[in-house]
Amino acid sequence: MTPYRRALGGLLALVAVAGGTAGARTDDTSARQNGAQVTTAYVITDHPQLRSLLHRLTTEDGGPGALVALQGRPGGTVLTSGVADVRSHAPMRGDSRFRIGSMTKPFVATVVLQLVGEGRVALDAPVERYLPGVVRGHGNDGRRITARQLLQHTSGIPDYLTYLSLEDVLNDPLAHHDTGDLVKLALAHPPTFEPGTDWSYSNTGYLLAGMIIERVTGHSYGQEIRQRVIKPLGLRQTSVPGDGSEIRGPHPRGYARPGEDVPLKDLTGLNPTVAGASGSMISSGADFNRFLGALVGGKLLRPAELHQMMSTRPTGNPDGGAYGLGLESHLLPCGDLAWGHDGGILGYQTTGAATVDGKQATVMVNVYPGETEAQDDDMTSAVRAALCEGRSSSAH
């Protein structure tokens, strides 16, 4: 689990006394009644392991609803379990759209690397070249930090989420948050380490990457993502909502769990500028799979820039992950390498990955924060099971 998701965990102490309730306790009965079901065509196997994991996510693990979208060369499938709404008990739909949190980062990194390929951004140029005077104060210095380091979390710039008033977010979830103010919030504190000497997840780096995109192109990061990625790939269920607090199209309600045996809190309505270029986007399982497949398959970046994106360094996390430029890699139990990202933003927890030979899988559960450790583990297991389906285990 990335520090983006962990950083929001402090909401639990606040969400118990702020925000609206879902009007019901977690209703596992409806999830059990729905079970794990196929909701789109092109089923190529019965997916028994995935069905079992989905059922567990919405029963033992405590999630209201869950889905896993998988894609391979023969076709695509979406499996669902549980409910999209704990009040109405409406079942989770396979074409659901949801907030993807930090799974926004690969989109932002893709745009930056396209600009690198066009000669408009240099990865190893100082941030100061593009954002003069922006990164200053308390030992932070944009003259000593590169664009590459922003994308790889090696800049040492503090994570603004560490210092954001989560109580203010809960009290006014529809409020606009200015990116410059969020960056200044982080830069009011000393660096985590000297640039390039260590690795530490920092959402501030991606806010700055979004600002670089705007400075270089004259357009917002959202406009560039739409023109360069969403439209060319036909991602009709994917959007960069800006100040928009609604999720358009079919979507599950998003919840937080303040504590055991406490009613869920509905956090569906949110102004995503609180996350900005670090985590504001909305997508679906099928769309995110299509994006990841195109990305690792070389359809969005030239070979030189894709190589840079996939040049990783260890994160030091116990899961053995390594981080490139907006993509994280993990060795699968079947021996293949998975490339992807996870995300967590109020109401939704997500993770997705792809292999270079054309398989992709994305999982979503509509409760965050307050998810159980078992939910974290089973979401990861579902992605790995989907990507390894039909292959023998060869990893040690």
102 belongs to the catalytic site = yes
CB 188 within 8 A of CB 140: no
- Using a 10 angstrom Cβ sphere, with 0-12 exposed, 13-18 middle and 19 or more buried, the burial of residue 262 is middle
CA distance 268 to 98: 9
Which string of DSSP letters, residue by residue, matches 90-158? PBPPTT-EEE-GGGGHHHHHHHHHHHHHTTS--TTSBGGGTSTTTSEETTEETTS-BHHHHHHT-S-PP
Q: Which helix (H) or strand (E) holds 217?
A: helix 203-217
CA distance 329 to 338: 5
CA distance 348 to 261: 20
Selecting among 102, 200, 280, 284, the annotated active-site residue is: 102
User: Where are the strands (E) in the chain, listed by range?
Assistant: 36-38, 65-72, 75-82, 97-99, 136-137, 140-141, 255-256, 265-266, 282-284, 313-314, 322-323, 328-331, 337-345, 348-354, 360-365
CB 39 within 8 A of CB 78: yes
Positions marked catalytic: 102
